[in-house]
Amino acid sequence: MTPDTHKETLGFQTEVRQLLKLMIHSLYSNKEIFLRELISNASDALDKLRFEALTDDALYQGDSELKIRVSYNKDARTVTISDNGIGMSREEVVAHIGTIAKSGTREFFDKLSGDAARDAHLIGQFGVGFYSAFIVADRVTLTTRRAGLGAEHGVRWESSGEGDYSIETIEQPARGTEVTLHLREGEDEFLDGFRLRAIIRKYSDHINAPILLPAEGKDKTGEETVNRASALWARPKNEISAEEYNEFYKHVAHDFENPLAHLHSRVEGKLEYTLLLYIPAHAPFDLWERDSAHGVKLYVRRVFIMEDNKHLLPRYLRFVRGVMDSNDLPLNVSREILQGSKIIDSIRAAATKRILGQLEDMAANEAEKYATFWKEFGRVLKEGVVEDHANREQIAKLLRFASTHHDAEQQTVSLADYVARMKHGQDKIYYITAENFNAAKYSPHLELLRKKGLEVLLMYEPVDEWVVGHLHEFEGKPLQSAAKGELDLGKFSDKEDEEVRKKAESELKGLVERIRSALGDKVAEVRVSQRLTASPACLVSGAHDLGVHLERLLKASGQTVPGGKPALEINPDHPLIKKLDQEAEDARFEDWAHILYDQALLSEGAHLPDPAAFVRRLNNRLLEIGQ
Ligand code: ADP
Ligand code: MG
């Protein structure tokens, strides 16, 4: 016996063990879904076989009628789900059933709180699939044979869903997979043909392949098909119920919850294709994994070809799930062909337009839904501003920001809302980018804008820097950073202010020069500010510089940053500045100048390059109090 064929007992990956325990508790209230999950896997296995057989017809071995069977045995107290699909090799069983080979799994498990109610939601998000069998079974036996391998390559896997599983190589004449559930005490309700039928109709009617059950009733023999067994997306819209759309979503997206919205359209003309696309209600746990396997499923004339998250839709729509079925592509389409395909290009462009249109409708008519969408996927959609030149304007309309218009942190303000609220004579859209909401909201850069009653968009997500880097205007109104360059308030900078500043400038000329030489090459310039009303100082980047915040982001991601130095602006009315002007002693003056600079950095949420020096200087000055 080679080590590969003997019976061995292997431990589940730690995550699987955790998952099994949690799942049994948290999904128990909806335990019948185990059948949906196992049928969904069987259906995927049929799809994969059909695809592989396109290039290798021999895989069918004379049995090309692909089907799923569900049966039960009252005496043995078992329910069995079998398919004649692709099957699994021994290695595949270990890889797919003994481990969770999804990227980001560990991070996901670190997030679980141990609170069953909260985690139930997360577990659904993770998609537990096969393991849901253990909700109703205390022993699960799986036998399988990979299509294309000989009969001696069958595999038998068994587990009671606790710490480990056994696996052995067996003789298995037919390809495909059979999963037998040995029901737990008290789960006999599933040993009933009518009950099983009802569950299949409820959750799995949309499955493409026939699902067979032993015929019920006295005189009946043989099997009968219990589902409709036709591609859901190929049916007319008005014949599909909301439930059917939802259940189909759970199957294609491997999700446990209903989607937020769907769009279904058939296009006929030069190209013929059908789209059935969904926007999920929550972000999948691996939304930020570059190589996440899930995406949209491509079919060619009802035959599943592949799932893909790079070619069928732009990256910034990678949260969309569903099906694209083309009548024009060749059946042997490969990933390489996808890349340069004119047909795929035009389907992708049309699908993108439709999804954006759908989101626009949702934003206009279903505000609450749109808020959910934005919370889950807003950060991804924002990438579209950078990525998708052609649709930039449409995407810009979909953006939502926090703003000084609201007190609380809520990303609800659209650029159109902002423009509609612009004051008479205001010609710019003001924004600020910062580390977090509070750093943005309380930034000293906003003081004058606040005083003038001008609204400012508060941006504090890393992607925002790229958004404003690519979105220069909206409806003809330029976007203007409140933290860069001269703050041009247009009509709102009244003459008086300007005169006051001019006066302060000439009065403080000496002070400005002294601070400048104290700070040396830390700053490009020191100048009298017009944007401050309450804070003593702030740092301002050049109009075309990256900005303090973006510089920090780039540095954090390990990039070298072309160092444009900021200007230090001082508030001539602030008591500290006035006091500083009186300071005769050089050492003390120098401390103050550096403290001013450092606190300007701190107020932006930045880290100080030399925090110890800041503390020392501050303490020097504190010690003088009351002396
Ligand atoms: P998912 O379906 O989301 O990938 P599951 O836990 O449901 O997760 O299934 C895990 C994996 O096990 C599947 O991706 C597939 O590779 C394999 N698998 C499960 N059931 C079958 C089956 N009936 N035939 C072939 N492979 C299967
Ligand atoms: Mg599954």
Look at ligand 1, atom 27, and give the residue with the nearest C-alpha: 41
How many A from CA of 45 to the centre of ligand 2?
Answer: 10
| Inter-residue contact 155 to 172 (CB < 8 Å) | yes
Per the listing, tokens 């063990």 go with 17
Look at ligand 1, atom 10, and give the residue with the nearest C-alpha: 96
Instruction: Classify 431 in phi/psi space as left (phi over 0), alpha (psi -120 to 50) or beta.
Output: beta
Task: Say whether both 589 and 487 belong to one domain.
Answer: no
Task: Say whether both 473 and 528 belong to one domain.
Answer: no
Task: Say whether both 71 and 154 belong to one domain.
Answer: yes
How many A from CA of 99 to the centre of ligand 2?
Answer: 14
Helix (H, G, I), strand (E, B) or coil at 518: helix
pLDDT at residue 1 greater than cutoff 60 = no
Ligand 1 binding pocket, CB closer than 6 Å: 37, 41-42, 45, 83, 85-88, 96-97, 127, 129-130, 177, 254
| Inter-residue contact 182 to 93 (CB < 8 Å) | no
Task: Say whether both 310 and 405 belong to one domain.
Answer: no
User: What CATH code is carried by the domain that includes residue 108?
Assistant: 3.30.565.10
Q: What angle do CA 295, 296, 301 make, to 5 degrees?
A: 150
What was the pLDDT predicted at 43? 95
What was the pLDDT predicted at 102? 61
What was the pLDDT predicted at 548? 65
DSSP state of 189: G
The C-alpha atoms of residue 443 and residue 538 are separated, in whole angstroms, by 9
Look at ligand 1, atom 16, and give the residue with the nearest C-alpha: 96
Mean pLDDT of the chain: 88
Domain carrying residue 139? 8-230
Task: Say whether both 346 and 467 belong to one domain.
Answer: no
What was the pLDDT predicted at 211? 97
User: What CATH code is carried by the domain that includes residue 556?
Assistant: 1.20.120.790
Task: Say whether both 536 and 610 belong to one domain.
Answer: yes
What was the pLDDT predicted at 21? 77
What was the pLDDT predicted at 422? 94
Task: Say whether both 206 and 291 belong to one domain.
Answer: no
Is 238 within a domain? no
How far is the first Cα of the chain from the last one, in angstroms, to the nearest whole number?
90
The C-alpha atoms of residue 406 and residue 429 are separated, in whole angstroms, by 16
Residue-wise pLDDT tens digits, 186-223: 999 999 999 999 999 989 998 989 999 998 877 777 89
Measured N-to-C along each axis, helices 193-204 and 33-55 cross at an angle, to the nearest 10 degrees, of: 60
Q: Which neighbouring-strand residues pair with 140?
A: 159, 181
Helix (H, G, I), strand (E, B) or coil at 588: helix
How many A from CA of 37 to the centre of ligand 1?
Answer: 9
Proximal ligand: closest to the CA of 125:
1
Q: Which atom of ligand 1 is nearest to the CA of 42?
A: 23
Measured N-to-C along each axis, helices 509-519 and 575-582 cross at an angle, to the nearest 10 degrees, of: 90
Q: Which neighbouring-strand residues pair with 223?
A: 214
The C-alpha atoms of residue 484 and residue 486 are separated, in whole angstroms, by 7
Q: Which neighbouring-strand residues pair with 170?
A: 154
Give the end of a domain, one of 175, 196, 230. 230
Look at ligand 1, atom 23, and give the residue with the nearest C-alpha: 42
Helix (H, G, I), strand (E, B) or coil at 626: coil
Task: Say whether both 35 and 167 belong to one domain.
Answer: yes
Among the listed ranges 418-432, 558-572, 586-600, which one has the minimum average pLDDT value?
Answer: 558-572
| Inter-residue contact 183 to 34 (CB < 8 Å) | no
The number of distinct structural domains making up the chain is: 4
Is 31 within a domain? yes
Is 113 within a domain? yes
Residue-wise pLDDT tens digits, 543-553: 666 666 677 67
pLDDT at residue 152 greater than cutoff 80 = yes
Q: Which neighbouring-strand residues pair with 180?
A: 80, 141
Give the end of a domain, one of 318, 345, 365. 365
The C-alpha atoms of residue 535 and residue 537 are separated, in whole angstroms, by 6
